[in-house]
Chain A
Amino acid sequence: MAEFGRSIRALVAVRLKEFFREPEAVFWTYGFPIVLALGLGIAFRDKPVEQVTVGLAEWAAPAEVAAAALAGDSTFLVSRYRDSSAAAHALRTGKVALVVIPRGAAEYAYRFDDTRPEAAVARLRVDDLLQRAAGRQDPAPVREEIVRERGSRYIDFLLPGLVALNLMGSGVWGTGFSIVDARRRKLLKRLLATPMSRAEYLASFPLAQLLLLVVEVGTILAFGVLAFDVPVRGSLVALGIVCGFGSLTFGALGLLAAARPTTIEGASGLMNLMLMPMWVLSGVFFSSARFPELVQPVIQALPLTVLVDALRLIMLEGASLAGVTGQLAVMAAWLVVGFVVALRIFRWQ
């Protein structure tokens, strides 16, 4: 037996070197999630309250009254037209959402397409303003409270999902490909002919992933916090432990996927088979609650689902480790089963 720990340190160091010397792997692990988060963050960013353009026909006195009434609300932009046919043309071409046609003093016609949502909203608000201008008194007093809170935006929902997705990707692909590649090169067989411990060899993969995850998760989190002000309400230690658990779990699943195949293609197929359902079902991009009740037990048992849940609980709701024990237990079960079965069926040559 070699000096204790020397082989495993050498093996982990080799894993890290192999990873960082593969520029493509580095991009897909670090660059891609950031590009994805940036794209989705921009697509779903909080928009300022949208202005609706309302057409106002004719220049007679009633139109002036209406114009004054609508000018009081910043949600409307008023375009004025010489007559109703010019205004109707603007409506048809989508330049305005609604046309107000004055019909004598304090009498109006609204022309709009009721299938356009913004037109229906405009109709209600325009009517409200005009009725009040005409002297309506509202019987019930109301007060508006506007909430635009950090933590409830789409990017806040998305970022923990991307962290989890990344841990899954690097755990399964990273581990799986290296092992199948070593088997294809007959390197596994060569290593067997040395005093190297098999357990140390297999353990070097999840251990290297564990070290890589500090950079990996750190990059995505830092990006989320700096670019989108995504909250991290729970402790970083708890977050780190959950990420570590996730990384080990997916590392074990990677070992499992790579336990038998002798070609990259074969392993690739198996890994896709393993990962695809989780991509779709585990609630990374939209809540998994949208799937029917019947499949919920399956979804809730998937390792990605519980990892995403645990990360969201910690980041968005400030949960402690005690608050995610259920999720950790499910991951631990996958970790143990994955590792044990992988060791059992592993093909060394």
Chain B
Amino acid sequence: MTPALRLTGLHKAYKDIRAVDGLDLEVRPGECFGLLGPNGAGKTTTIEICEGLLTPDEGVVELLGLRWKTDRAALRERIGVSLQETQFSDKLTVLETVRLFRSFYAAGEEPGAVLERVQLTEKARARVGQLSGGQKQRLAVACALVGTPELLFLDEPTTGLDPQSRRQLWDLVEGFRAQGRTVILTTHYMEEAERLCDRVAVVDRGKVIALGTPRELIASIGADQVIELVLSDGAPGLSPTWTGIPGVLGAARVDAVITLRVAQLHATLPGVLAAIERDRIGIEELRTHAPTLEDVFVSLTGRHLRDG
């Protein structure tokens, strides 16, 4: 089967910054694929190269078996795009905006039907300028959907949205995906990647540093639980004794937070507490949680996703 997207040896540099530095990817038809990484990881550059808005310095981009250089017109008809922070004209209504985008495509959905799908029917006659952030984002998705794309690109679709708007957008993406079409999205929210994506590529410094289903990725760090210790001001750094405690698989420190990946929480915790006691480490807070993609990123890079 032709992959929905294939990237081989992608490079793109701006002056002396290597935004994309040798990136390979393959996205299967019908899957929801996520590029997860902190701000500045090269996600937007990568997705804009895929969308044909940027040309790579090196590497091959294939979408639906086609290439931008030779099949630009055909590709434009078959993909849908929602960019980061597009502001549509404030003076047009929601319906007028979607109609305008519909007019660009040879085939597509009826604008009214698209608005219904993104739950903006009530706002059809409202000016774009009067919409909330979540409504504007759903309008952006409506404009991406109106040409009935086979492949949908969403760049940071829920950044800056409140939790309810975020959930509405997730439902929308799941609905699209349920029709058997392909979604490629970028995000720096691990909950979003875990909830929406069949597979995730963790991107850092222009490279894919891990790839798999969210479950596989989380399992790859081999921990059942994660213990976070928030240090008091002036507490000493990473104690070399952490990894010596039975059950502790790995330790990382980001700012004042020490993250311990552990096998069995109930068996490991007493040893951890004893070490804190023995070394007189000032602890502000102790938290535990099941490992997430965030922990995957921390264990791979020693940094948090939100660090930027």
Contacts and interface: CB of A to CB of B under 8 A. Distances in A.
A6 to B, nearest CB: 5
A18 B100 CA distance: 13
Contacts of B87: 185-187
A1 B86 contact: no
A1 B92 contact: no
B91 A194 contact: no
Interface string A1-41: 11100110111001001100110000000000000000000
A192 interface: yes
Interface in B30-84: 51-53, 73, 76-77, 79, 81, 83
A18 B92 contact: yes
A25 B103 CA distance: 27
A132 interface: no
A189 interface: yes
Nearest to A19: B91
A243 B104 CA distance: 31
B157 interface: no
Contacts of B101: 194
A303 B76 CA distance: 39
Interface string A150-173: 000000000000000000000000
Contacts of A7: 103-104
B147 interface: yes
A349 B52 CA distance: 12
B264 interface: no
A27 B96 CA distance: 24
A193 B100 contact: no
Contact of A187 (B81, B88, B147): B88
Nearest to B88: A187
B99 interface: yes
A195 B51 CA distance: 12
Nearest to B87: A185
Contact of B99 (A10, A189, A190): A10
A289 interface: no
A257 B267 CA distance: 71
B105 A2 contact: yes
B126 to A, nearest CB: 13
Contacts, number: 73
Contacts of B89: 14, 18, 182, 185, 187
A22 B91 CA distance: 8
> Which of B76, B83, B104, B147 has the most C-beta atoms of chain A within 10 angstroms of its own C-beta?
B104
A349 to B, nearest CB: 7
Contacts of B53: 189, 192-193, 349
Size class of the A contact interface (CB-based, 8 Å): 20 to 34
A134 interface: no
Contacts of B86: 185-187, 189-190
A22 B90 CA distance: 11
A196 interface: yes
A195 B77 contact: yes
A189 B83 contact: yes
Interface string A311-341: 0000000000000000000000000000000
B100 A10 contact: yes
B83 A186 contact: yes
Contact of A14 (B79, B81, B92): B92
B224 interface: no
Nearest to A194: B104
Contacts of B100: 10-11, 14
Contact of A1 (B51, B88, B91, B106): B106
Nearest to B153: A193
Contacts of B110: none
A349 B48 CA distance: 12
B116 interface: no
B191 interface: no
B108 to A, nearest CB: 9
A7 B81 CA distance: 18
Given A17-B96, A189-B83, 16 more contacts: A7-B103, A17-B92, A185-B87, A185-B88, A186-B86, A187-B87, A187-B89, A190-B81, A190-B86, A192-B53, A193-B52, A193-B53, A194-B105, A195-B73, A195-B77, A195-B104
The 9 closest A-B pairs by CB, nearest first: A10-B103, A185-B87, A193-B81, A195-B76, A21-B91, A194-B104, A196-B104, A190-B86, A7-B103
19 contacts: A1-B106, A2-B105, A7-B103, A14-B89, A14-B96, A17-B91, A18-B92, A21-B91, A185-B88, A186-B86, A190-B81, A190-B88, A190-B143, A192-B53, A193-B52, A194-B76, A195-B73, A195-B76, A195-B105
